[in-house]
Amino acid sequence: MASKIVFVTGNVNKLKEVRMLLAPAEGQVPAFELTNIDFDLDELQDSSLENIARHKVSQAQEKLAKGTAVFVEDTALCFDSYNGLPGAYVKWFLKSVGPEGLVRMLAGFDNKKAEAVTTVAFADSNGQIHVFQGKTQGKVVDPRGSREFGWDCIFEPEEGAGKTYAEMEKKDKNQISQRSRAFALLSKHLNGASNSGV
């Protein structure tokens, strides 16, 4: 029977993407069963994205039965002109000023470059924590495309042929996104570990 892995997140857009990214290739037997729980996890005020993700998954481990394999992810948007801020705090900026407010933050700067970073922390069934990170470079632009997911409408990745994430098909975003890069590393780890149990 396939082992179970829990993804703790309250963000349905993230969950949708992660389900696509971890789906087995056609004809392949799933190596694990992915379930979702929405716990409210504290997010450290720490400039290290790895520390934030590790802290998040440790809390998730405490809430779940011992031996449960679980992962979380934390996604940051780092402005070059702000030396990496808002970073992991982008959620709170979005909540208070929306995508337009994020664009206005860069109004006085010529440099609109930004880096999107997803950090995954995976606790295996032995309780050991593994961290994987993916990054995508781009720039902040006036909103274009669907408003469905976070800052997608203002992030134009370098590899996106001039489109914002929000203007791209999900499968195309998944080719180049910071999330896809982080989860490719997790998948590799899980496939390597599949013989010994997650």
Ligand X SMILES: O=P(O)(O)OP(=O)(O)OP(=O)(O)OC[C@H]1O[C@@H](n2cnc3c(O)ncnc32)[C@H](O)[C@@H]1O
Residue 79 contacts ligand X per CB under 6 A: no
Please give the radius of gyration of the chain, using alpha carbons only, rounded to the nearest integer. 17
Which is closer to ligand X, CB of 91 or CB of 189?
91
Instruction: Decide whether 68 or 180 has the Cβ nearer to ligand X.
Output: 180
Among 74, 86, 140, 156, binds ligand X (CB under 6 A): 74
Q: Beta strand pairing status for 155-157 and 113-123?
A: unpaired
Which class for 104: exposed (0-12), middle (13-18), buried (19 or more C-beta within 10 A)? exposed
150 assigned binding-site residue:
yes
Considering only the stretches 100-108, 124-132, 140-148, 150-158, report the one whose residues sit in contact with ligand X under the rule CB under 6 A.
150-158
Contact 179, 132 (CB under 8 A): no
CA gap 143, 145 in Å, rounded: 7
Single residue of 5, 6, 14, 87 touching ligand X by CB under 6 A: 14
CA distance 81 to 107: 11
Among positions 91, 112, 139, 163, the unique one binding ligand X when judged by CB under 6 A: 91
**Taking CA 3 as the corner, what is the angle to CA 27 and CA 130, rounded to the nearest 5 degrees?**
105
3-class DSSP state of 139: strand
Q: Is 68 annotated to bind ligand?
A: no
Taking CB under 6 A as the criterion, the residue among 53, 122, 176, 179 binding ligand X is: 179
User: Which parts are annotated binding residues for ITP?
Assistant: 9-14, 56, 74-75, 149-152, 173
Binding site for ligand X (CB under 6 A): 9-11, 14, 43, 74-75, 90-91, 94, 149-152, 165, 177, 179
